[in-house]
Amino acid sequence: MFIGSEEIDLKLVLIDSAQCFHWTEMRDGSFAAVVGGRPVRLWRAADGIHAEGGMSAPELRRYLDLDRDYAAVAEAYAHIPAARRAIELYPGMRVLNQPAWEALVQFILSANNNVPRIRGLVENLSRALGPEFEIGGQAVCGIPSPGRLLDCEEEELRAMGTGYRASYLTGSALAVAEGFPLDELREMDYEDAHELLTTLPGVGDKVADCVLLFGCEQASAFPVDVWVERLLRSWFGIECGGNRTRMMREARARLGEHAGLLQQFLFHAARMGDMEL
């Protein structure tokens, strides 16, 4: 199935840029995962991106954000040296539009963790509790549903390496099972959606912004971690006394409706050491 010929670096977006932690690079250079309970495999051919599995071409275009004009986003920030530099570094970057529940689980697990460790926790959880499929000759497992998490004792989750995050997972799963409007956040005003998300266990400002940016199509959400904090200070002069919530608000005020998209370029450049801090 042909998806499109737009410029996108699948390895950068799905594996290296820490937007999600459940894709696998296969031996043939393709990439496989379970997304929204459906297996999918993506690969690049001479004419563009192709896929197989349970998602349609329009669904995958939305997931990969292929219909957004990133050249226009770059133009909007061309007057800012740090933004221009970061965007130029990664012409194949896209910001994923993941299922909100999958983003929530992954970024709850991301708290006080590094990328390899997060990937390991997501894999452990998915192998133990998630749906399993075969695609491209390889088994792939999906992130477990809220109900599946609630069927599991917290001690079992802790044994998978989740530690104190086990109670956050079950608490958030219970809230979603009881009607928390997770899938409605994409249609809400950013401030209202952010405030509501932070009522969930284990969801602070940064996790909320990650969920909104990568799982709710809120392109102005601006997660601030240690890398972005350093870059905001050195390139933008944003200090705010080290208060990351205030830094996030200042960055959003300055950078506008696509602040979160720019954040992903800045974050990756800082984390990879491709921009001097």
Please name the residue ranges forming H helices in the chain.
10-11, 57-63, 70-76, 81-89, 100-109, 115-129, 146-150, 154-159, 165-177, 190-197, 205-215, 226-236, 244-255, 259-272
At 237 the pLDDT is 82
At 94 the pLDDT is 97
Query: Which one from 206, 258, 268, 271 is the annotated catalytic residue?
Result: 206
In whole angstroms, give the CA distance from residue 175 to residue 169: 10
- In degrees and rounded to multiples of 5, residue 135 shows phi and psi of -150, 135
At 216 the pLDDT is 97
In whole angstroms, give the CA distance from residue 186 to residue 183: 7
Tokens of 109: 């697990």
Considering the entire predicted model, what is its pTM?
Answer: 0.94
In whole angstroms, give the CA distance from residue 167 to residue 104: 14
At 198 the pLDDT is 97
At 235 the pLDDT is 83
At 20 the pLDDT is 96
At 225 the pLDDT is 87
Residue type, 265: F
Nearest to 10 by CA among 36, 38, 31: 31
Catalytic residue flag (residue 206)? yes
- In degrees and rounded to multiples of 5, residue 103 shows phi and psi of -65, -40
Low-confidence ranges of the chain (pLDDT < 50): none
In whole angstroms, give the CA distance from residue 182 to residue 197: 8
Per-residue pLDDT tens digits for 124-148:
999 999 999 999 999 999 999 999 9
At 112 the pLDDT is 79
At 197 the pLDDT is 97
At 231 the pLDDT is 83
